[in-house]
A and B are shown apart, each in its own frame.
Chain A
């Protein structure tokens, strides 16, 4: 079973209890419909597991099939610079069908980001590099499509429907 090659670190976006016994990491693409389906499932699992779960999201945009995916990922990183990564992450999945550049800027406004700063950061090559680095860490860890999940550093290849995934996560607690 492939293992996560790049351990969760300070560059990652982490939600929930940092010391939780279970770490669930997703490699995802904001324009991927399967990731869109996974989004509310993960939310629900986070709610049910509470402080026992830490959730981490890394970018894995498939640029050739999803032409807006890279810019959507960059916009989440630009929002992160204003401490609103998760707000943007959620918003992008909720409005997945409209991820053109104009919409991304509109979303920044809706989330009450400093839009001028957001637009400047959007052009920052370091943010593209961050997205590329996420992608490469995924490829090297055996990510073969999205969403791909790693649980406590091990690739999870079973179904991610809520019941199966939650049952598996809870089994790790006992």
Chain B
């Protein structure tokens, strides 16, 4: 995975069938990138469901959350609607896993992203990262600790 202090690589991916999200558009805000293996899988659902509940805490630190997996925009669309998510899920779909590869968190054997977290600062520099065991929901405590320590600087 890309290391702390690295400039976060730029990307532009579909978030809905007719919208795209570009990382550089979020300059001036902190960004939490949550790479996860697959829509609908139990652990991913719990993890994204938890973050959906902790968005308010992220926003208190001027941070936006973005989920990324190799699923298509239509799968994301249905998953978001079903789970009432209030944050974008980006489709790293074509070429498959290109952004996960840029961040060095692609699992080529499974053809999915690893379960990886990055916190990027207002200038686009990676300030925190975490690679979770794939079957484990990493929770939000690490992200919040990172955001808090960034605010103190």
| Chain A residues packing against B (C-beta within 8 Å) | 2, 62-65, 135-136, 139-145
Contact = CB atoms under 8 A, between A and B. Distances in A.
B144 A64 contact: no
Contact of A144 (B84, B86, B138, B144): B138
Among the interface residues B54, B84, B138, B141, which one has the most CB atoms of the partner chain A within 10 A? B141
B139 A64 contact: no
Interface string B130-145: 0000000111110011
A141 B144 CA distance: 10
Interface string B103-145: 0000000000000000000000000000000000111110011
Given A2-B139, A2-B141, A139-B141, A144 B57 contact: no
- Interface residues of A, dominant DSSP: loop
Interface in B1-21: none
Among the interface residues A2, A63, A64, A135, which one has the most CB atoms of the partner chain B within 10 A? A64
Q: Which 5 A-B pairs have the closest CB atoms?
A: A144-B139, A144-B137, A142-B141, A142-B139, A139-B140
A71 to B, nearest CB: 15
A62 B53 contact: yes
Contacts, number: 41
Interface of B: 46-47, 49-50, 52-54, 57, 83-84, 86, 137-141, 144-145
A65 B137 contact: no
Given A64-B53, A65-B83, A139-B54, A145 B144 contact: no
A153 to B, nearest CB: 15
Contacts of B54: 139
Contact of B141 (A62, A64, A65, A141): A141
A46 B144 CA distance: 34
Nearest to A5: B141
Contact of A63 (B47, B53, B83, B145): B53
A104 to B, nearest CB: 21
Given A136-B57, A139-B57, A64 B140 contact: no
A141 B47 CA distance: 15
A144 B49 CA distance: 9
A28 to B, nearest CB: 14
Nearest to A65: B49
B79 to A, nearest CB: 13
A36 to B, nearest CB: 17
A64 B46 contact: no
A144 B53 contact: no
A142 B144 CA distance: 10
A64 B138 CA distance: 19
A99 B88 CA distance: 31
Contacts of A65: 49, 83-84
8 contacts: A64-B86, A65-B83, A139-B57, A139-B139, A140-B141, A142-B139, A144-B137, A145-B137
